[in-house]
Amino acid sequence: MATRPKNTELKLYEGEKNANRIRDTPKPARGIMRAPPTLTKAQRQMWDFVVGELQAIGVIALADTGILSRYCVLHERWQLAEQAITEHGALLVSDDGGLRPNPAVGMARDLASELRRIEVEMGMTPASRTKIAVSPTDRGRANIERILKAK
């Protein structure tokens, strides 16, 4: 399986030193990320959390609004599917008295798969975070200090 190419900003952030691997790429605009008005309260809470974490390490831009919005919507749907599984079980009784799979199981699996793709793309998994080199002068240090002070 081939690995996906990384954008230049991510390569630099991860500490790439080889000039042959660094190309000039478009720089998306940075700014205040505003949640789309269509998000529900739960989706907005996830938005605030994810955007805050990703902005603290400087890996998102205004162009990422759509993918982050989709992430928040999918995350709420995944939680609802998991709640349905918890409440009704992985198997349901069919009309003829037999057992059938709960459709929420397949939904939860598919949603979790899509969430994971977005998480990997955006640097939100433990493995993808280990590839990011943070120097003491980076904004990431301020975030680390904030987390440590909160404990």
Sequence ranges of the domains in the chain: 8-150
In order of 22, 47, 143, the CA distances from 33 in angstroms are 27, 10, 18
Query: Residue 61: helix, strand or coil by DSSP?
Result: coil
Q: Closest Cα partner for 119 from 151, 71, 58?
A: 71
Among the listed residues 74, 76, 84, 77, the one whose alpha carbon sits nearest the alpha carbon of residue 104: 84
The end-to-end CA distance of the chain, in Å, is 41
pTM above 0.85, yes or no: no
- 91-149, pLDDT tens digit by residue? 999 999 999 999 999 999 999 999 999 999 888 888 877 766 554 444 555 555 555 56
